[in-house]
Amino acid sequence: MGQSEVTPEMRALEIATEESGNFYYGRRYFVEKTRFWGYVRKPRQPWSKAQLVVMNEDSVRQPDRLPEDGPSNARHGYDQNSNYRITGHFTGRKIYEPASNLFLPEFKATGYRRIDTNGGWLFTPQDYYNKTKITLVNETVSQPTR
């Protein structure tokens, strides 16, 4: 069954029965010129509770820390829509990401393990991806205060 055929009920069941522990699940979400990493959530939490994060790379670099103009399979963002099992923690800091004009939580990863390379839709089956424009935003993303 392809990811496009996965219903919200099937996704909820998959999440409810996934492995849990002292780690997070992450979905790489790449949009050109932005510096956020993607969405991170606790095991068995729905993606609607995930947070769009900026990664702190003091302990370990992002898996796609590669040149932005390299070959398509070996450049920054090549892992768009991949799911990861990530160890680390939220630092409690909010980081301003200027290309998106968002304040996002900082996550300090200590390890990554890619689970799959095609996570399918994130929030709803109607999700769509545009590599130059932010199209996947949930209510956990905070706008700057004026």
Q: What pLDDT score was predicted for residue 142?
A: 55
Q: What pLDDT score was predicted for residue 4?
A: 60
| Model confidence pLDDT, tens digit, residues 6-16 | 999 999 999 99
Q: What pLDDT score was predicted for residue 104?
A: 97
User: Which segments of the chain have a pLDDT < 50?
Assistant: 1, 145-146
Determine the residue type at 97: E
CA dihedral of residues 15, 84, 115, 67 (deg, nearest 10): 150
Instruction: Identify the CA nearest to 105 among candidates 120, 119, 90.
Output: 90
| Model confidence pLDDT, tens digit, residues 13-48 | 999 999 999 999 999 999 999 999 999 999 999 999
The pTM score is: 0.88
Q: 57 is written with which tokens? A: 């790379």
